[in-house]
Structure formats: structure tokens, C-alpha cells
Amino acid sequence: MGYTLGMKKYQKLSGVKEIARLADVSIGTVDRVIHNRTGVSAKTKSKIENIIKQLNYQPNILASRLASGKVYRLAVLIPRGSERTDFWDTPLKGIKRAEEEIRQYGISVATFFFDLNDKSTFIASTEKIRQQKRFDGVLMAPSFVKESISFTRYCQEHSIPFVFIDSNIEVNGSLSYIGPPLFQSGFLGARLCTFGMKNTKKILFITISKEKNRYNYSKIEEGFKNYFFENDVDHQLIKLTITDTEKKSVFRNLEKAFVKHPDIEVIFVTNSRVFSVAQFLESKKHKKIHLVGYDFSKENQNYLKNGLIDFLICHKPEEQGYRGLMSLYHHLALNLPVDQVYFMPIDIVTKENQDFYR
């Protein structure tokens, strides 16, 4: 009993009052250091931090957060899932999961959508965020590069932290990037392609995107090419970029590529629209083409199951959405450190393991 009472007394003394007594400062000064506020000299701050470390003091940050009564408003800016691809339904699921967890702690989330095939919808959504002038943080997919850079300038001018998910752009000031390690992902993609290389060793390297993010696709391509260079693998790379994502356009461009190179053995698609290529191969009865692409979307799952897609490379999009929103919450509400870059794992999904993939 005496030991228990002693422990309780020690825990009580090891609080803010005891830290203030040992540092010979006021409780308010200790509180400012704990919550990283200004108004404390470097010498005093260092002294208090050393005492906190010695006592192994863990402040109840959440209690302080609730006591403050402040509401943090977060804006989410992502593409809307569409008939062409449901990929973005999955990050949204992660965002909603995070929102459910943090809503009770004074966090408000507003989601703004845009159409991946219509740049004006992205601009319109950023304008809505600007006009409301009430957001403390932004989680965004920088799908339209020039417009994303313009919007991040606005965020920086107004001291609004922003987090990128799924893709990254070369811009200063982002709080965090949460998404795939693009170079390594491309490197792995090349290795998966070698399983289909037999005679001609011809690989069709395809990007199907209305707006090409040069940073992302160049990193994937760099990693892809680097695999063949490092391993001295003989191959012939044929590049194809399709900016009109409509089915007719994709089919037309693929038809031209096969007329010019009828002996293509492998196709690598740099994003989630690999199902569009699978549809073409199915229509032309090209069943022996080795096809590798990205993302566990519903459309891709169907073609993986019937064997037209051989490998899907996945980067846990639901987790990206969840971590993205939680990063803003940790930074703004709890004053906790956030990883500037958080790479997602690279998963390989096949026909054999797709039923068990989460």
C-alpha cells in the first residue's frame, strides 16, 4: 500500500507543478514550452526540456486539445471517382475513416472534388476553398501540376499547411508527401515485365493521362529504365503517351502501336488505367501479351482475375487518405512531428492472391 501511495505521489509531483519548481519558473512558462509557444528564452526552454526528459513527463495533449475548444477546419481536394475509374473511391474511404476518428476532437472536414478530365473543375474547387477563407489545413492530390503550384502559393501566403497524397510535385513548403516511392515502383515494374520477355523483348511503355505529371511519370520511367541498365537486360522500349482517356482514343492509339510493332510481348502501364489496355487486348484476342500496371481498382480486378492483367502494383490508397488527414490533425491540433515524406509499401497483387488482398 505504501508503495502505491508513493507512486501516486511521485506521479503527482512529476507534473507541470514539479517541473516548474525544479526549473524555478512559473507554471505558465512550462506550459508554453510543452505546447511549443513563443515567449521563453532559449536557455530557460533548454532547462525545462531537460527536466521533462529526466522525469519522463508525458503531457496529456489530448486533454489540452479538448479544453482549448478550438475547431480546426480541414479541406480535402481530390478527384471524384468516375465510370472510367473508381480508384479515388479508395483514398476517400481512408479520409472518411480518419474524419470519423477525429471529429470528436474539434476537427471539421470539407471535401472538394474535381474531374480528372476537366482542369476547370480543379480550378473551381480551389476557388471555393479560397473564398471560404476559413481552412487551417489542406489535403490534396496535385493532379494538375501548374494549377496545384498556384494553389500551394496561396496556402503558403496564408500559412496554411498542405499535404500531398498519391502524387508529388516539385514545390517548396509542403508539410508532407504520402504516397508511392516512384523510382522504386518503376524499378519493380520493370522486373515484373521481364517474366513476359521471351523472343522480341519488346515492351510497350504506356501513360494514359489527360494531364501528365512530369515529376511522377519521369521518376517511374527512370526507375523502370534503371532496372534494365543495372541488370544488363536486353530489351526494346517503345513509349506511348495517350492524353485522351476515352475508350475510342485508347483503342485507336493501341491499334497504331500494334500495326507498327505487331510483335510486342509486354505492356507496362504507368497508372491505374491498365484496364483500358486489357479491354483492347480482350477485343483483339491478344491473350499472350504480358500486362503489368497499377492499382487494385474494381475494373483492374476483373481483368486480373481472368488473366489479361498479370501483375498489379499497389500502394495502399486507403491508407494514403487516412494518413494524409491524420498528419494534418497531428500537426495542427496536437503539435506532433509529421514525416515530410512517408512512402507507402509496394504490394504486388496477382490472380492467385487477389481474393485475400485488403
For residue 228, the model assigns a pLDDT of 97
* Closest listed residue to residue 79, CA positions, set 107, 111, 108: 111
The cell numbers describing 342, all together, are: 512517408
293 within 8 A of 323, measured Cβ to Cβ? no
Question: How far out from the chain centre does Cα 240 lie?
Answer: 26
Question: Quick one: pLDDT at residue 63?
Answer: 61
pLDDT beneath 70: ranges in the chain: 1-14, 57-69, 82-85, 212-213
Q: Mind listing the pLDDT tens digit for each residue in 226-265?
A: 999 999 999 999 999 999 989 999 999 999 999 999 999 9
* pLDDT digits 0-9 by tens, 128-141: 999 987 899 999 99
How much is the pLDDT for 2?
Answer: 38
The per-residue pLDDT for 104 is: 85
State phi, psi for 179 to the nearest 5 degrees. 175, -165
Single-letter amino acid code for the residue at 69: G
Q: Which residue is listed with cell 505529371?
A: 213
Closest CA to 261 of 234, 239, 241: 239
User: Domains in the chain, please, with CATH?
Assistant: 2-59 (1.10.260.40), 67-179+317-344 (3.40.50.2300), 182-314 (3.40.50.2300)
C-beta separation of 182 from 220 below 8 A = yes
Query: What is the predicted pLDDT for the residue at 83?
Result: 65
Looking at residue 186, its pLDDT comes to 97
Q: For residue 84, what pLDDT is reported?
A: 64
- Rounded to two decimals, the pTM is 0.78
pLDDT, position 79: 94
